[in-house]
Chain A
Amino acid sequence: MSDEEDDIILSELDDEELVQQMMDDLYDGMSEEIEEGVNILLERGWTPYKILTEPLVGGMTIVGHDFRDGILFVPEVLLSATAMKAGMAILKPLLIETGAPRMGKMVIGTVKGDIHDIGKNLVAMMMEGAGFEVVDLGINNAVDSYLEAAAREDADIIGMSALLTTTMPYMKVVIDTLVEQGKRDDYVVMVGGAPLNEEFGTAIGADAYCRDAAVAVETAKEFMQRRHNQA
């Protein structure tokens, strides 16, 4: 079969086929095709929120599952994330204009002494895709950075990430400080990172350990729902 016959003209696909194709393109990390697909759906009158949730978050969720199951590896996930970012760059200003459901607000960063932000960036992106407002504190955050940002932003969630065995104990410093200042119940504290586990999250007093970005999104949604029900 020639390359020409292989070419898929996105604009000739109906909506259902296009969404499916965009999910495939996202899986394959094809940024330009994602941008083209987003623009086609906008021209067809899709709302930015619907585009974000169906082909982009939907596609990225499949990527996340396949990463969890050992089918995809970090490089492929990063390529998919880059493609999703390309789509989100088009949608973000439109989402602000058109409005979209707000799930809650999260401040997130890697802990003091840790510069490894790949996981944190994926979580931030997926949380945004799920309708959370995310304030990204970047890398190497001391306790004051988390607490000041959480207060300033009136955040619902504090997210902490660490890749190193040597830096993960710092998460407890942040949580202990929240307790000392009587602010522990003001925030949901979610932690993640390769060397962490459920037991560690419980031991340091976090509300949840999240093994990947998809779990982080679902966990955050559950906590926001609980808060909503308690209000």
Chain B
Amino acid sequence: MTQAALSKRDEANRKTTGSILLLACGALAREILDILKINEWSHIDLICLPAQLHNTPDAIPDAVREAVGKHRQDYETIHVVYADCGTGGILQRTCDELGVEMIEGPHCYAFFEGVTQFEDRDEFTAFYLTDFLARQFDAFVWKPLGLDKHPQLRDMYFGNYTKLVYLSQIDDPDLIEISRKNAQRLGLEFEHRKTGYGDLTPQIENWANSKI
């Protein structure tokens, strides 16, 4: 991890005096911090779980359970900033048991685009990138799939996909270009959609206002 990334994570995990805790996927740290800063929601703290859990969804519910248990006594309210994220409904059940809310939808791709719109598109042959995944493509996609060492496996993973869709949260021409090149590496068509923070902002606003 780079020094900049470590600083970002430390910033994300810095506990202040908030009464609300957002327990989030590390892949959302930058976006959530930005939303909190823009809206001056200083009563909300953010603690992130490792973004690497994105690639091992079965480990997410236990990680959330442990983190909620660890921080519950320090906050009036804890909210979980994960969608289902491939847990097959187990994360929702875990959150129900713990009495904490989580985000609706199958993935962050869905709530960035807007869950309803995402589901209406029904693009089941699309492979999605967010800003985080665009920045971290090699670390979170290319290398974990072994494509750095075994590029011949590419079509076993991506042969049934038709396009890579980059859902961008911010305007960054470099990330668009990186994603375009990564679509080529995967042998996929490229499409870019600017989503902004989508459903994430109103969701956090809803949580923020509940404690003001």
Residues of A within 8 A of B (CB): 73-76, 78-79, 82, 113-118, 121, 139-140, 163-168, 194-197, 200
Q: Of all chain B residues, which has the CB nearest A166?
A: B106
Shortest CB–CB separation between residue A120 and chain B, in angstroms?
A: 11
Q: In the complex, which residues of chain B have a beta carbon less than 8 angstroms from the beta carbon of A82? A: 156
Give Cα A200 to B93, complex, Å. Answer: 13
Extra contacts, 11 of them, besides A76-B146, A166-B119, A200-B89 (Cβ < 8 A), are: A74-B146, A79-B146, A82-B156, A163-B86, A165-B86, A165-B106, A168-B88, A195-B57, A195-B86, A195-B89, A197-B90
Total interface residues on B, using CB and 8 Å? 24
Show 30 A/B contacts (Cβ-Cβ < 8 Å), sorted by A: A74-B145, A74-B146, A75-B146, A75-B150, A76-B146, A78-B150, A78-B153, A78-B156, A79-B146, A113-B122, A115-B124, A115-B125, A115-B160, A118-B156, A139-B160, A140-B124, A164-B106, A165-B84, A165-B86, A165-B88, A166-B106, A167-B124, A194-B57, A195-B57, A195-B86, A195-B88, A196-B88, A197-B88, A197-B90, A200-B88
- Residue B195 is within 8 A (CB to CB) of chain A in the complex: no
Closest residue on chain B to residue A162 by CB atoms: B88
B70 interface hit (Cβ, 8 Å): no
How many angstroms between the C-alpha atoms of A82 and B155 in the bound complex?
A: 12
Interface residues of B (CB under 8 A from A): 57-58, 84, 86-90, 106, 119, 122, 124-125, 144-147, 149-150, 153, 156-157, 160-161
Main SS of the interface on chain A?
loop
State the CA gap A200–B86 with chains docked (Å): 14
Report whether B160 and A116 are in contact in the complex, using a CB–CB cutoff of 8 Å.
Answer: yes
Q: How far is the CA of A73 from the CA of B57 in the complex (A)?
A: 15
- Cβ of A79: which chain B residues have Cβ within 8 Å of it? 146, 150, 153
How far, in angstroms, from A48 to B86 measured CA to CA in the complex? 40
Choose one: B125, B153, B161; the contact of A75 (CB below 8 Å).
B153
Who on chain A is nearest to B89 by CB? A165
Across-interface contacts of A73 in B (CB, < 8 A):
144, 146
